[in-house]
Amino acid sequence: MKINKILLIEVGTKLSIFPPLGLMCIASVIRDKYKIIIKDYSGKKIDEQSVKRDIEKINPEIIGLHVLTGPHIPRALIISKIAKKFGKIVIWGGPHPTVLPEQTIKNEYIDAVVIGEGEYAFQDLLKYFEGKLKKPLGCGIKEKVRGEEKIKIMLPQKKFVDFKKLPLPSWDLLENINRYFPEKRHNVLPLSTTRSCIYKCGFCHNSNENVKRYLGHYRIAEPQRGIKEYKFVQSLIKNKIDYLDVGEDLHLISYDYAKKFCEAIEKSGEKNLMWNTSTRYEMINKKIIDLIAAYNCKRVLLGIESGSKRLQELNGKIVEFNRTKKLAKYMRKKKLFVTNAYIFGHPTETAEELKMSLKYIKEVPADENLIQLYRPMPGTPYFKICQESKKLKVPKKLEGWKGFGILGHDVNVSKISDKFLFSTFYKTNAWQQTKYIFNLQRYYLQNNFYIKFFKNIIDNRFTFKLN
């Protein structure tokens, strides 16, 4: 089979717009050999007629989709079904097919899956479908064996992405790049600067065995790469970017890296270039806080998850109360906007342990307490606990996962009564979100984000539920 044209699709959800960073990275490593078209359906309703028109007009041989667990799945299946009617080869990649590759590829509208990191695995699959490679790595395929279709889950790739050799994401291939940067000033550029994670929290997809094997070890890019990408994107758009979102799973890993990042910001030549980061309380101290505050870091996201020492130990994330309280207070003194993340309803969590989290929320200073109900993520240690305790019904088919993941339905897999868990969750969130809105408005005024200030009055964000 000869492959000329490849269509890469970001499935997304209709409620939020976010640039397809992963697909842009894949496009960058294959665009010299194939014609690449990227379609981003995030922030849009999936309309069958529009999808048909897109596929007919582009007429690719291969269609690749990026799919998360949850509401992405029915949207991706609509696209895949249409693609197969046109006789296209359909490849799924992303978190869901990585965690559940065999069940995913069993679906009649999917021909192959990429497991874990996609830059090398997707190239192997292209060679496989071109007849140039018999055993592609880092993927799952369907093959005919004596007239019967067999699923093969291949071994992981032998090498993983080196940021020093990886081209910048193909922002120039987006069909309407300006929709991601709608304001005249103070637009935010999300940067992909890390792969994998050092830690393996029980609720997180990074703790999944396939993720560990197929995504590779933790890597972080040199700070200059982010600055180079910022200048590239700024050259493509009409509005001004002055804020870098470099949070991801874990960005601020040490004082040495923080210093290198701050030096890159200073040497960028851009006045008042702001940024945010994510880290853990155990990884920071006053010296790091002083440094990043001096170099225009504006926001920090930190995961506390639970006030229970037992649950902290279960996740390998010890958040010592007194030290955490002092550091959070110091960050706010330095005018950093502090977001502390919590989960209510951990598997095996008791009412008394939930009250321990409430103590942290009450006494550990924060501009935002980001509280989520635990929503089961397949393939994680937490999910296994849920299965063993028979707290949930595991879907037997791909379609059944639409209500799972971080955007899934509210469920209770803890030892807390439904009444106490849900009433505590919604009451706590109502108060915390009210405080957050006021803190956010103050933050906008402090940083002269006047357009965002007035827009937020009209359209404020509630973090506890996304339908």
Q: Could you count the other beta carbons within 10 Å of the beta carbon of residue 430?
A: 11
Q: How far apart are CA 344 and CA 245, in angstroms?
A: 26
Give the chain's count of helices (H) and strands (E): 16, 15
CA 75 – CA 66 distance, rounded (Å): 11
Q: Is the pTM of this model over 0.85?
A: yes
Residue 416: C-alpha distances to residues 350, 408, 412, 431 (Å): 5, 20, 8, 21
What are the structural domains, with CATH classification, of the chain? 5-153 (3.40.50.2300), 181-458 (3.80.30.20)
Hey, is 330 helix, strand or coil?
Answer: helix
Decide: 158 and 116 in contact? Cβ < 8 Å. Answer: no
pLDDT tens, N- to C-terminus, the chain (467 residues)? 999 999 999 999 998 999 999 999 999 999 999 999 999 999 999 999 999 999 999 999 999 999 999 999 999 999 999 999 999 999 999 999 999 999 999 999 999 999 999 999 999 999 999 999 999 999 999 998 888 889 999 999 999 999 999 999 999 999 999 999 999 989 999 999 999 888 888 898 888 899 999 998 999 999 999 999 999 999 999 999 999 999 777 888 899 999 999 999 999 998 899 999 999 999 999 999 999 999 999 999 999 999 999 999 988 889 999 999 999 999 999 999 999 999 999 999 999 999 999 999 999 999 999 999 999 999 999 999 999 988 888 999 999 999 888 777 788 999 999 999 999 999 999 999 999 999 999 998 888 886 777 776 656 544 434 33
Q: Rounded to a whole number, what is the distance in angstroms from the first to the last CA of the chain? A: 41
The amino acid that residue 356 corresponds to is M
Q: Rounded distance, CA 17 to CA 424, Å?
A: 31
CB 115 within 8 A of CB 153: yes
Residues 386, 413: contact at Cβ < 8 Å? yes
